[in-house]
Amino acid sequence: MSKLKPVIIILYFILIKYSIIGQDVQFSQLFADRLYLNPAYAGTDYCPRVSLSYRNQWPGVQFPYQTYSISYDQYSEVLHGGWGFRMMKDDQGGIFNQFSADLIYAHQVKFKTNSSVSFAFQVSVYQRSVNNSDLIFADMIDPRYGVIYSNTENINIQPLLTPDFSTAILYKFKNYFAGVNISHIPQNIVQDHNVYLPMKMTLHAGAALPVFKSDPKNPVYVFEPNILYVRQQSLSMLYYGMYFDVSQVAVGAFFRQDLKMHFDAIILSFHMDVKQMKIGYSYDVTLSRFLKHSWGTHELSLVYLFNCRKKIKDYGTISCPDF
């Protein structure tokens, strides 16, 4: 893999020279970091909520992709809505590093028909940097003696820092919900680096369907079918599957594919409640021969919901997987 790394890097910079775009990170545990899925989830639990996520993609290769995320949100009666912030760091093989920090406000409107809608606006700071200390380019290689020349490539590797904006909406009717999240508005162009952040659209819908109720207000068994569609530039990904809750434990299985019926992975997940803490683990089974080299993808999550004083009378939560 060490021999492949310089080739991959060279190809990346050849493409970046011609304004290639970068794709956003996509977590496998859709609701562990709900603010990333849809900022309109800010404050939907009313009480303060902290979420931690870690994603290790392709640990079998020498330089895997690793992503770290932390978020916080709660409802504010003063602001008449939910607010939150999140930070994420994405390390792509130790070469490309991305960091983002988001500040979110979501206003919720409740209707008399057991439904509500939440509108969100997100302001972000996005930073990307490149570590070129280990890069090898074609003009550095002698056919006989190997790498003996110094690098003469003229590449802009200075870190870029740019503002970013997103907006989202989330609708809930009884045990059903649907949402839209549009990121990078307007399409963010960074002229000095000749790159841009392409606009991303996320559509998702799902339900929490109780079965075999032991108590009208607290069903023990819950089916949670969900579907998610992500579109960013030429990339389209479709997630669909179901979580199944059994008391304090939940298991899930999802497929991930593009619209041309090319299956990318099966996502298997397990979540467990420990008092006010929710612990989750998922594994992406790669549906290609690359699995024996990549060892799939591992993802861990930790969510903690704080206690707080009694909710306001006209506040309504939004049903969705709570992990």
Q: Tell me the C-alpha distance between 10 and 83, whole Å.
A: 42
CATH topology of domain 4-305: Porin (2.40.160)
What is the sign of the dihedral through the CA atoms of 201, 118, 47 and 100? Answer: positive
Q: Which residues make Cβ contacts (< 8 Å) with residue 258, sequence separation at least 6? A: 235, 236, 237, 238, 264
Q: Is the pLDDT of residue 248 over 70?
A: yes
What is the pLDDT at residue 272? 94
Q: What is the pLDDT of residues 227-242, one digit of tens each?
A: 999 999 888 999 999 9
pLDDT above 70: percentage of residues in the chain: 72
Indicate the DSSP class of residue 262.
Answer: -
The mean pLDDT value for 277-304 works out to: 84
What is the pLDDT at residue 61? 67
Q: Tell me the C-alpha distance between 222 and 211, whole Å.
A: 6
Q: Is the pLDDT of residue 20 over 50?
A: no
Residue 192 pLDDT class (50, 70, 90 cuts)? low
What is the pLDDT at residue 220? 75
What distance separates the 2 farthest-apart alpha carbons in the chain? 78
Of 126 and 219, which is predicted with more confidence? 126
What is the pLDDT at residue 134? 62
What residues does each domain of the chain span?
4-305
**Rounded to two decimals, what is the model's pTM?**
0.81
Of 98 and 238, which is predicted with more confidence? 238
Of 217 and 222, which is predicted with more confidence? 222
